[in-house]
Amino acid sequence: MLCASRGPLVSGGGRRSSEVAPVSKRTLVVGGRIVTSSQDFVGDILIEDSVIQAVGTLPELEVAERIDATGKLVIPGGVDPHTHLDTPVAGTVVSDDFHNGTVAAAVGGTTTIIDFAVQRKGDDPRVAFEEWQERASGKAVVDWAFHVILTDLPDRFLPSLDGLVADGVTSFKLFMAYPDALMIDDGAIFNAMRRSVENGSLIMLHCENGHTIDALVRDALDAGQTDPIYHARTRPAIAEDEATRRGIVLAEMAGSPVYVVHVASGGAVQVLQEARDRAVPAYGETCPQYLLLTEDRLAEPDFAGSRYVISPPLRTFEHQERLWEGLRTGDLQTIGTDHAPFYLEQKEVGRHDFTKIPNGMPGIEWRMAHLYTSGVRTRRLGLNRFVELTSTNAARLFGLYPRKGEIAPGSDADLVIFDDSQETVLSADTHVTNCDHNPYEGWTVHGMPETVMLRGQIIVAGGAYVGRDAGGQFLACDPSPAHGFSELVF
């Protein structure tokens, strides 16, 4: 008799689309330390037809493949809720496309990404979704879903949001920064939030006060302050704090949940904490770069600071400590990467004007290793919280749970056998990411994925990608349960 999971029994969850019929095969992962968001025990996992069939102490079974995970962690495949692959930025395109970027994701233990399709002003938002589907299809080697970035939202486009939700795109990002480019006004944000209450979508906000930042940027350029460090100095933390507070107030007025992307400032964490204390469904994401790097990187000589130009900018150590505290206490719920790498040559266009430097840096390949090294090993985070932050919470918030982010009967067999004893020195000479520099050059991480399975198929073995080309599938997300805050508190 097979033993059921110690966690909840599930039927799979999440809408399944664009799927290839699986080849029937039984695989048994034996003897690993199975860690989910709520469990931690040594056991076995039976996989059949790409889905987990049983979890527990299982008897000897006749299977096609047996994988020994003794002495290793077995965790759900990572879910990165914030990536930008094959995306136009500032007159160029990020250097990772959907093939290479997802290979890097797989090597790093991420089996699901949620990327951003960018609406062009004047276009129906569905056009962006269709365009990004073409970019990903036939290239991605892990599973993918989409958010849509809204840059133009007259009333005539509101019904298109409902149509996208029906097609499995259930989250929309809006910018409070970059006037005359990506920024959308408060009225449009409010209308999107009110519509989200009707269609079950989740509104995501890039929170920086765009108009005040533009004024500071003009002052800096007029004063001849053109080096990369001025990118940080013209985007102060208070501009992020104000926009976060304003975005949450708009959500309160609309009666909708809100998800704040790439939180970088301690003040923004405080705003999220205060909102959640009022039972406002406000959720926050941060990124490894904000936890590990500080703004002094932008002052590195000979334009080397350009490789660290991101928005919001890197901040000081004090902000880092508040971010770590927010992860520990639950005021931040997810870790994304905002993965958007560029070659140094692409960054060079802004040598004499920091506003022209393409914003973005790599991170998809090292997200889980960094959080394990700097979070779990330092005892800032427990193992269950590590799994929540890298996988389960994103799957829950974006309508993919329990298909993704869980190890239980009915869930996709997306598994990472994680060797917590392995030491790896990060370097541009050895990484998979398509980028000629590594922001963590020479850093040692402790713990890396040894084996990665996507729907029961091994795609990483011995730390190297061994999967087939274009093995990923599009995931149609369910409406976000964030609308039921009382049932989704974490």
The Cα 290–Cα 317 span in angstroms is 9
Whole-model pTM? 0.95
Residue 242 contacts residue 267 (beta carbons within 8 Å): no
How many Å apart are CA 53 and CA 5, to the nearest integer? 9
Q: Is the dihedral of CA 339, 166, 396, 152 positive or negative?
A: positive
Strands 73-76 and 26-35: parallel
- Other C-beta atoms closer than 10 Å to the C-beta of 456 total 22
The CB-side HSE value for 66 (13 A sphere, CA atoms) comes to 11
**What letter would DSSP give residue 296?**
G
CA distance 111 to 80: 8
Please give the share of the chain, as a percent, with pLDDT higher than 90.
91
* β strands within 426-490, DSSP E: 444-454, 457-461, 464-465, 475-476
Nearest residue to 393 via CA among 5, 9, 37, 112: 37
| Other CB atoms within 10 Å distance of the CB of residue 52 | 26
Strand, helix or coil at 320? Answer: helix
**pLDDT interval class at 3 (50, 70, 90):** very low
Q: What are phi and psi of 417, to 5 degrees?
A: -90, 110
Is residue 7 very low, low, confident or very high in pLDDT (cuts 50, 70, 90)?
very low
pLDDT in tens, 245-258: 999 999 999 999 99
- Helix, coil or strand: residue 444: strand
**Residue 54's pLDDT band (cuts 50, 70, 90):** very high
Q: pLDDT per residue over 335-354, tens digit each?
A: 999 999 999 999 999 999 99
Cα within 13 Å of Cα(476), Cβ side = 11
User: pLDDT above 70 covers what percent of the chain?
Assistant: 94
Query: 3-class SS at 339?
Result: strand
pLDDT digits (tens, 9 = 90+) for 406-461: 999 999 999 999 999 999 999 999 999 999 999 999 999 999 999 999 999 999 99
Q: Find tokens 């590590």 and name the residue.
A: 386
Q: What is the pLDDT of residue 10?
A: 31
pLDDT at 17 over 60: no
Q: How far is CA 224 from the centre of its chain?
A: 36
**Domain 78-402+477-487 = CATH 3.20.20.140:** yes
Spell out the domain ranges in the chain: 78-402+477-487
Alpha-carbon distance of 374 to 202, in angstroms, equals 30
- d(CA 30, CA 27) in angstroms, rounded, equals 10
The mean pLDDT value for 180-197 works out to 97
Q: What is the CA radius of gyration of the chain?
A: 21
pLDDT in tens, 109-144: 999 999 999 999 999 999 999 999 999 999 999 999
**Rounded CA separation 313/139 (Å):** 31
The Cα 289–Cα 370 span in angstroms is 10
Closest CA to 24 of 46, 47, 48: 48
pLDDT of the residue at 14: 58
At residue 15, the pLDDT reads: 60
